[in-house]
């Protein structure tokens, strides 16, 4: 059993079933056993691949956006260039390389990386060795008074969600317990494989001895009346971070891009997903060894921006945003000096980033801005 599974088992033994958010928190971020804390999850040898890891063009296009925002802000002589959840540091490295020729941009940029993983911090230090970089663990550590330009790619989907389920005409919180507490013997229950790449994980035991259950709500929720079995998700961590970030932008000027797969609610359904070595698995298996994500609900993020009184763009798809920022022109110029193999790599990367059967439509881009002028490039 993995260290994370042991910690979860122990927590449940001591305090009873845990909500999905606590399960995700331990499985992803526990200092001893958490998925992100103990490994580099990216690439062919890892569990998943992200847009910046697919092509340098992705970070370059974000760089063009950042440089345009900075100029729109009046080219301030000092600003915080913030990335939330920077992974291997690839996006920031491409962004910085891509903005080298923008006069004054590098001199003004103070790079801040919000990251929890010690393993990934080391990778980021290597990728960004040419720059002065500071790490922060939360947004309170941002320097007061500086404008901020922020990017968060596939960051919000890694934050712990809560799930609520409609059971016998009332809402309950979805929770995880141990098979033994649930009165089940793990060995006696066969694993059931779901169809269509997703595994049906309703009420079944699995190799870490964990099973689904539900617990009464601590506080009444005003959810709509939905059919029996419906699931609603909320992400308090995402709302807190968005509130904080947008308030900072409201006070000090700046802009932010949030890129993730998700939806603008209201929507119901179970979007918790586990990926182990590039394949979906039951979220209660490979605990601490599989990536766990949930689709991002952009509605509360939009509300946080509205409350902060800053301008918010229409949600764009990743494909639209990258095209508007000029990715085709960039690909064309990269092709000019490329070998046939490189040309085919560029074509493949464009396809993966842009096409609607890949990341082009599923991934959405939320842009916010606060400063002189109105309307932003890319949307
Ligand atoms: N943006 C990168 C990585 C996405 S994976 C890319 O596109 O390739 C999610 C990243 O968020 C990882 O770097 C992970 O360690 C970090 N992360 C997850 N939860 C976090 C938290 N609560 N605070 C800060 N970083 C977090």
Length of the chain: 379
Q: How far away, in angstroms, is 156 Cα from ligand 1 center?
A: 8
* Percent residues over pLDDT 90 in the chain: 84
pLDDT digits (tens, 9 = 90+) for 312-365: 999 999 999 999 999 999 999 999 999 999 999 999 999 999 999 999 999 999
For ligand 1, atom 3, name the residue with the nearest CA: 87
pLDDT at 183: 67
Distance CA(186)–CA(183), nearest Å, equals 9
Task: Return the higher-pLDDT residue of 231 and 198.
Answer: 231
- In this structure, are residues 352 and 359 in contact, taking their beta carbons and an 8 Å threshold? yes
For ligand 1, atom 13, name the residue with the nearest CA: 87
pLDDT at 220: 85
Q: What is the mean pLDDT of residues 220-233?
A: 90
For ligand 1, atom 10, name the residue with the nearest CA: 85
Q: Of 73-87, 168-182, 205-219, which range is least confident?
A: 205-219
Q: Is the CB of 120 under 6 A from ligand 1?
A: yes
Long-range contacts of 355-359 (CB under 8 A, 24+ apart): 355/319, 356/319, 359/51, 359/261, 359/318, 359/319
SS3 94: helix
Q: How far away, in angstroms, is 113 Cα from ligand 1 center?
A: 10
Q: How far away, in angstroms, is 120 Cα from ligand 1 center?
A: 9
pLDDT digits (tens, 9 = 90+) for 162-190: 999 999 989 999 999 998 877 654 444 44
Distances (CA, A) of 286 to 44, 83, 159, 224, 273: 18, 29, 18, 34, 12
Cα 114 from chain centroid (whole Å): 12
User: Model's pTM, two decimal places?
Assistant: 0.93
Q: Is the CB of 116 under 6 A from ligand 1?
A: yes
Distance CA(257)–CA(5), nearest Å, equals 34
Q: What is the mean pLDDT of residues 141-152?
A: 96
Q: How many CB atoms lie within 10 A of CB 329?
A: 10
């Amino acid at each position: 059993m993995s260290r994370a599974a042991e910690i979860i088992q122990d927590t449940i033994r001591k305090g009873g079933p845990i909500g999905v958010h606590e399960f995700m928190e331990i499985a992803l971020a526990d200092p001893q056993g958490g998925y992100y804390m103990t490994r580099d999850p990216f690439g062919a040898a890892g569990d998943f691949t992200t847009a910046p890891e697919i092509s340098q063009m992705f970070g370059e296009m974000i760089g063009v956006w950042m440089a345009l925002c900075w100029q729109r802000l009046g080219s301030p002589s000092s600003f915080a260039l913030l990335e939330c959840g920077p992974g291997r540091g690839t996006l920031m490295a491409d962004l910085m390389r891509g903005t080298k020729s923008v006069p004054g941009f590098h001199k003004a940029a103070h790079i801040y990386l919000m990251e929890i993983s010690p393993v990934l911090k080391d990778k980021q230090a290597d990728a960004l060795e040419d720059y002065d970089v500071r790490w922060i663990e939360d947004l309170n550590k941002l320097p007061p008074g500086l404008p901020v330009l922020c990017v968060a790619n596939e960051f919000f989907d890694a934050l712990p969600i809560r799930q609520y389920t409609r059971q016998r005409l009332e809402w309950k919180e979805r929770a995880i317990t141990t098979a033994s507490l649930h009165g089940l013997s793990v060995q006696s229950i066969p694993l059931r494989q779901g169809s269509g790449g997703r595994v049906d994980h309703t009420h079944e035991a699995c190799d870490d001895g964990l099973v689904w259950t539900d617990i009464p709500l601590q506080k009444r929720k005003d959810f709509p009346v939905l059919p029996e079995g419906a699931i609603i998700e909320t992400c308090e961590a995402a709302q807190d971070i968005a509130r904080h970030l947008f308030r900072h932008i409201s006070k000090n000027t700046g802009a932010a891009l949030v890129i993730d797969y998700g939806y603008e609610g209201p929507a119901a359904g179970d979007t918790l997903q586990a990926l182990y070595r590039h394949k979906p698995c039951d979220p209660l298996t490979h605990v601490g060894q599989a990536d766990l994500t949930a689709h991002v609900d952009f509605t509360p993020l939009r509300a946080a921006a509205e409350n902060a009184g800053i301008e918010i763009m229409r949600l764009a798809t990743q494909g639209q945003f990258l095209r508007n920022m000029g990715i085709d022109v960039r690909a064309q110029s990269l092709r000019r000096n490329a070998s046939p193999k490189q040309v085919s790599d560029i074509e493949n990367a464009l396809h993966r980033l842009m096409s609607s059967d890949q990341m082009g439509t599923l991934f959405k881009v939320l842009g916010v801005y606060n400063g002189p002028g109105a309307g932003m490039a890319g949307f």
